[in-house]
Amino acid sequence: MIAHHIMPNANKAQSKLNAQSDSSQFQLDAESDHHQSQELFTTGLEDVQHEDVQTLQNANIVRKKATSTMQNSNADAQCYRDSAHAASRELAQLRAEVRNASEPLVFGGIGDSGTRAVAYLVTQLGVWMGKYGETVKKDSRDSRLFINGFNTVACDEDGVSTVEGVVKSYVFYSRSLAPCGSLAYNQSCIANELTWNRGTQWTSSLFRTLWRDTKTYTPKAANQEMYAFGLWGFKHPRASFILPYINHVLDGNFKYVHIVRDGRDIAAGDNQYFFNSICKKYHGPDSELCTDKYENKLELWARLNLDILRFAREHFDPKQFMVVRIEDFVLGDPNCFQRLADFSGTSRARADIVIGKSIRLFTVKKDRYFGNKYSATQRREFSQVAAGNPIVRRANHALGYGIDPWQPVASCSEIPTFGFS
């Protein structure tokens, strides 16, 4: 059995030679396969090399962009946090400083409505509106503090927090108007935290500066007689454009006086700066409603005033909001003067002194109102436009203006809560 399994020597030698031959052939076959594969690979690479290199380059670009986007996103997120923190800090500082102050009075309106005359009147009634010629402009009695602006924390092009230079109010209110299409905007429709934070910082700085200005000047002996009531505020027509911010930073603790004038007079007047500078922010840059037409100017007047009334209804108590029709003062109704004096918080004694003198100052300007500057034909045409536009009709009704005759349909004392009734 064992002999059967033992190979003779000759057989062993032949087997070895056969194995070597098979091994050599296998090596040759393997080398041949390798060379063929290499040739195929090289040929294939030549065919796709351009596409692969381009793909790799594109992949690198995408990767770099993704990294950059992530870095920018992180920077933007930090910048948003910094902006929000600055807004909270300014807000807390404001509320701490004005904790013991009386409620400020804010006077706004649509340009050319008579805000200047009302600002003069309430100053005489004892409301500190700023130092005339310094923080208050001599020609318009607008607040220079509102005009000049304040520093705010925002984001630069790289998403890095930076303290901006002096920022004007239009920077944030125009970016609030554009997405919302209304003066009655809010934080949610703005949908831009940086805009809201910038406006919060700015408005907080405004009232903190106004209050410091009040505390600096009103205690002086020369001012004590007129400004002994602790009343303070400011006037600027475009205060109406930042009412949502004012309401936010003061937590509703202020009074707002909205001054109006018949839209037919405003739309036909010489001062169209308000329309020219605001319309495209309100309606959009390409809106046909912003072409230089009388009906467009009248409709913008109506829309802006209706926005204010809507915001007031939604956010104000009737006791903190008043509409003043300038025509009521021009007509010389003493009850309308007294109504504003009571709303402002001045004393009856002070009001009695001021109102008599003020009535004469207003009534001498009657020829500038009620369409008196225009021909009978023009007045008729303007009234037809007003009567034919439903938005204008709504505004006239809400504000108590008649179409014919061209004057208020009722005394201010008969409609004490404009927009709420």
The mean per-residue pLDDT over the stretch 351-378 comes to 90
pLDDT digits (tens, 9 = 90+) for 129-159: 999 999 999 989 999 999 888 888 777 666 6
- Taking the C-alpha atoms of residue 33 and residue 36, their distance in angstroms, rounded to an integer, is 5
The pLDDT of 287-291, averaged and rounded, is: 95
Q: What percent of the chain has pLDDT over 70?
A: 77
Q: Does 412 score more than 60 pLDDT?
A: yes
Residue 35: its pLDDT value, please?
Answer: 47
Q: 46 falls in which pLDDT band (50, 70, 90)? A: very low
Q: What is the DSSP letter of 408?
A: B
Q: Count structural domains, the chain.
A: 1
pLDDT band of residue 257 (cuts 50, 70, 90) is very high
* pLDDT band at residue 29 using 50, 70 and 90 as cut-offs: very low
Q: Is residue 58 part of a domain?
A: no
Is the predicted pLDDT of residue 75 greater than 70, yes or no? Answer: no
**Can you read off the two tokens belonging to residue 314?**
């939604």
Q: How confident is the model at residue 74 (pLDDT cuts 50, 70, 90)?
A: low
Residue 369 CA to residue 260 CA, distance in Å, equals: 12
Q: Which of the pair, 149 or 301, is modelled with greater confidence?
A: 301
pLDDT of residue 280: 92
Residue 85, pLDDT > 90, answer no
With 0-12 / 13-18 / 19 or more C-beta atoms within 10 angstroms meaning exposed / middle / buried, residue 409 is middle
Assess contact for 167 and 151: CB atoms under 8 A: yes
Mean confidence (pLDDT) of the chain:
81
Residue 377: CB atoms within 10 A of its CB come to 8
**Beta 231-235 vs 161-163: how paired, if at all?**
unpaired
* Residue-range definition of the domain harbouring residue 198: 78-414
Question: Alpha-carbon distance 179 to 177, whole Å?
Answer: 6
pLDDT of amino acid 203 = 94
Look at residue 33 and tell me if it is in a domain.
no
Say yes or no to pLDDT of 61 above 50. no
The string of pLDDT tens digits covering residues 302-332 is: 999 999 999 999 999 989 999 999 999 999 9
Say which CATH number the domain at 120 has. 3.40.50
- Indicate the DSSP class of residue 168: P
In contact, 128 and 231? CB cutoff 8 Å: yes
Buried b (16+ CB within 10 A) or exposed e, 88-113: eebbeebbeebeeebbbbbbbbbbbb
pLDDT: is 107 or 374 the higher one? 107
In terms of pLDDT, which residue wins out, 366 or 12? Answer: 366
Question: In 99-168, which residue ranges form alpha helices assigned H by DSSP?
Answer: 115-125, 144-148
110: pLDDT strictly greater than 60: yes
With respect to residue 15, please indicate whether it lies within any of the assigned structural domains: no
pLDDT band at 42 (very low <50, low <70, confident <90, very high): very low
Q: Are 325 and 419 in contact (CB under 8 A)?
A: no
- Least trusted range by pLDDT, from 48-62, 223-237, 288-302, 331-345: 48-62
Q: What is the pTM of this model?
A: 0.78
Q: Which of 45-54, 167-176, 319-328 has the highest mean predicted lDDT (pLDDT)?
A: 319-328
pLDDT of amino acid 157: 61
